């Protein structure tokens, strides 16, 4: 595990908060999009894109890149924001979110936007598709067609997938979980955005998922539970997951849906609703106030 400086933690925390503001503006300007689940995943995405992932924005098809499968595709405003600021495409392009001719489709499109690893929106695919990628990376070296050659080595790249907590209602999540365990996919890490709220209510009411850690343990996964808005905990957990070799790993990140905007937090109505002008102004003021604290 690596040492993470206070400065790094502070920097990434500020970045995550700045992303929240950008996402608020995107959804407000477009008057369409999903805020709640985007706001809850800011710190995880900032940690991945700006510290942990092995990637090169200039080479989105680099064979040895880490793969990030953003399975909770509806929250893509935050994914696009992190990618733009990391250099995958111009930040100004964020203004085209959900408009005609945009590469920033309402849900991520891997064909239109280089750097997107998986089309997502219909939920549940991250683990099973990720397992396929992790299998391929284990099987083959970095050169095309070399996996059967004696000199072929497994790729150093890893596969990460971000899941929503409502998403794990889907059966294929658990089919994929069994498959990843069967094939000992230590190069696969899932991060569960455990924000406790889904489209029509609290996760505990819609479809109870507890005891969540026990479930993943029972499926043969390495399990960590962290505070999902704490950058230090996120970075440590990602490092620990990398050190697990014989089985897949999940980080259960306890988060808050709508994080950072008082009237959106824990309110399922903000799953897919854009704010009006007054709501936008208030949300912006709250997010900016918080950002100042990280910048001081």
Partner 1 sequence: MAELVSMRKAYGQALVELGKANPDVVVLSADVSNSDHSYMFEEVFPDRFFNVGIAEQCLVDVAVGLAYSGLIPLANTFAFLFATRAVEMVRTHICYGQANVKLMGAYAGLSDSFDGPTHHSVTDVAIMRSLPHMTVVIPSDPLGLAKLLPQAVEWPGPVFFRLNRNEVPVLFDDSYDPKIGEAITLRPGDEVTLICAGLMVSRCLDAAEVLAGEGIGARVLEMHTVKPLDVDSVLQAARETGALVTVEEHSIIGGLGGAVAEAASEAHPVPIKRVGLADKFAETGPYFEMLDRYGMSVEDIAAAARQALAAKKG
Interacting residues of 182 by C-beta distance below 8 A, sequence separation 6+: none
Using the contact rule CB under 8 A, the part of the chain among 5-13, 138-146, 248-256, 272-280 near partner 1 is 138-146
Site for partner 1 in 5-64 (CB under 8 A): 63
Told to check if 220 binds partner 1 by CB under 8 A, we report no
Helix (H, G, I), strand (E, B) or coil at 8: helix
Q: How far is the CB of 109 from partner 1 (least distance, A)?
A: 8
Strands of the 67-70 sheet, one edge to the other: 67-70, 159-164, 188-194, 249-254, 222-227
Which residues does 132 contact at the CB level (< 8 Å), separation at least 6?
Answer: none
Does residue 118 bind partner 1 (CB under 8 A)? Answer: yes
Stretch that binds partner 1, among 52-60, 128-136, 200-208, 242-250 (CB under 8 A): 128-136
Kindly state whether residue 181 participates in binding partner 1, applying the rule CB under 8 A. no
> Do residues 108 and 76 make contact, with C-beta atoms less than 8 angstroms apart?
yes
Phi-psi label, residue 69: left if phi above 0, alpha if psi -120 to 50, beta otherwise: beta
Q: How far is the CB of 97 from partner 1 (least distance, A)?
A: 19
Separation of alpha carbons 67 and 213, rounded Å? 24
**According to CB under 8 A, which one of 29, 86, 96, 136 is a site residue for partner 1?**
136
Cβ closer to partner 1: 41 or 159? 159
213 binds partner 1 (CB under 8 A): no
Q: How far apart are the C-alpha atoms of 26 and 2, rounded to whole Å? A: 35
What's the half-sphere exposure (Cβ side, CA atoms, 13 Å) at 185? 31
User: Which residue, 147 or 280, has its beta carbon nearer to partner 1?
Assistant: 147
What's the Cα-to-Cα distance from 145 to each of 139, 159, 172, 276, rounded to whole Å? 10, 20, 29, 53
**Contacting range for partner 1; rule: CB under 8 A; set: 46-54, 130-138, 243-251, 276-284:** 130-138
Out of 26, 48, 94, 137, point to the residue binding partner 1 (CB under 8 A): 137
User: Least distance to partner 1 from the beta carbon of 72, Å?
Assistant: 14
Rounded-to-integer distance, Cα 69 and Cα 105, Å: 16
136 versus 244: smaller Cβ distance to partner 1: 136
Work out the widest C-alpha separation in the chain, in whole angstroms: 64
Residue 151 sits in the site that holds partner 1 (CB under 8 A): no
CB of 157 to partner 1, least distance (A): 9
Nearest-approach distance from CB 290 to partner 1, in angstroms: 36
Please identify, using beta-carbon distances, which residue of 177 and 264 lies nearer to partner 1: 177
**CB proximity list for 136: less than 8 A, separation 6 or greater:** 147
Considering only residues 62-101, where is the footprint of partner 1 by CB under 8 A?
63
Q: Could you list the residues that contact partner 1 (CB under 8 A)?
A: 63, 109-111, 117-119, 121-122, 124-125, 128-137, 139-140, 144-145, 147-149, 171-172, 175-176, 178-179, 182-183
């Amino acid at each position: 595990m690596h040492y993470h400086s206070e400065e790094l933690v502070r920097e990434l925390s500020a970045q995550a908060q700045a992303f929240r503001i950008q996402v608020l503006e995107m959804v407000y300007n477009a008057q369409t999009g999903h805020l709640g689940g985007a706001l809850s995943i800011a710190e995880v995405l900032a940690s991945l894109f700006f510290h942990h992932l092995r990637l090169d924005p200039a080479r989105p098809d680099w064979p040895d890149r880490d793969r990030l499968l953003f399975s909770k595709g509806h929250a893509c405003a935050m994914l696009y924001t992190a990618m733009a600021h990391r250099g995958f495409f111009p930040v100004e392009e964020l203004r085209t979110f959900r408009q005609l001719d945009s590469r920033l489709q309402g849900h991520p499109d891997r064909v239109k936007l280089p750097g997107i690893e998986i089309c997502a929106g219909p939920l549940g695919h991250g683990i099973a598709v990720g397992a396929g990628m992790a299998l391929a990376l284990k099987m083959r070296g970095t050169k095309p067609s070399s996996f059967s050659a004696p000199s072929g080595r497994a790729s150093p790249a890893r596969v990460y997938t971000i899941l929503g907590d409502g998403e794990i209602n889907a059966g294929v999540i658990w089919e994929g979980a069994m498959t990843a365990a069967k094939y000992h996919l230590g190069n696969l890490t899932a991060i569960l955005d455990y924000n406790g709220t889904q489209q029509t209510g609290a996760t505990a009411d819609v479809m109870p998922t507890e005891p969540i850690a026990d479930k993943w343990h029972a499926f043969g996964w390495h399990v960590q539970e962290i505070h999902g808005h704490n950058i230090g905990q996120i970075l440590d957990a990602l490092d620990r997951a990398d050190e697990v070799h014989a089985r897949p790993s999940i980080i259960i990140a306890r988060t808050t849906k709508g994080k950072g905007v008082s009237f959106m937090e824990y309110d399922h109505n903000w799953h897919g609703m854009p704010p009006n002008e007054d709501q936008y102004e208030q949300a912006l003021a709250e997010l900016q106030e918080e950002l100042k604290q990280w910048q001081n």
